Amino acid sequence: MFCEKAVELIRELHRMTDGQLPAFNEDGLRQVLQEMEALYEQNQADVNEAKAEGRAELIPSIKLRHCCLLRNQRCLTAYLYDRLLRMRALRWEYGSVLPANVRFHMCAEEVQWFSQYKKSLASFMRSLGGGEGLDLTQDMKPPKSLYIEVRCLKDHGEFEIDDGTVILLKKNSQHFLPRWKCEQLIRQGVLEHVVS
């Protein structure tokens, strides 16, 4: 049946409910585009024949193929757009450098879109407050306490806090650090908030 491949692409994304980005389905995309090309050519032929020979009974099939073409276009744009939204969410979650396993799942054009999105966002944030700039990806949660206890999950090297002291973030070490400095590292999985 027509449009099955397109719907399969949608289902593939629908299955991943936690915002994960599956590998780009290059094959699936190609198959849908091929089906669209075939449908279009059949329609061109039928339209010419209907006009030339006055065969009005071809019109329902022409309409059907046109509906399938529209449905394929709609499913493809939905698939592609939903992937963009997932990538956008990842920018806000992980920062401007995405984990390698995510990048492998992105096709070249998606990497391009992402790089452009990052640039737009960065220049927007820089321009806030008359050029002062404000990093909107920080302060995601309302501040509850000033300092928090954190455990280091992996070696991250030296880390400087506001009053100049340098902390060595070694795996399994625990520190009492200012909350606002730790936020991004917690989201990236380098530190873990210890709730005693």
CB of 92 to another protein, least distance (A): 9
The full 3-state SS of 116-166, as one line of letters, equals: HHHHHHHHHHHCHHHHCCCCCCCCCCCCCCCEEEEEECCCCEEEECCCCCE
**192 within 8 A of 145, measured Cβ to Cβ:** no
* Token pair in block for residue 82: 């939903």
Q: How far is CA 175 from the centre of its chain?
A: 34
Fill in the per-residue mask, 70 to 109: x = in contact with another protein (CB under 8 A), - = not in contact.
x--x--xx--xx--x---x------------------x-x
- For another protein, give the closer residue by CB, 138 or 174: 138
- For another protein, give the closer residue by CB, 148 or 152: 148
- For another protein, give the closer residue by CB, 72 or 152: 72
CB of 136 to another protein, least distance (A): 5
Residues 138, 160: Cα–Cα separation, whole Å: 17
- For another protein, give the closer residue by CB, 64 or 134: 134
2 binds another protein, rule: CB under 8 A:
no
**Residue 163: CB partners within 8 Å, gap ≥ 6?**
none
**108 within 8 A of 118, measured Cβ to Cβ:** no
State the residues that interact with another protein by CB under 8 A. Answer: 29, 33, 36-37, 40, 69-70, 73, 76-77, 80-81, 84, 88, 107, 109-110, 112-113, 116-117, 120-121, 123-124, 127-130, 132, 134, 136, 138-143, 146, 163, 179-180
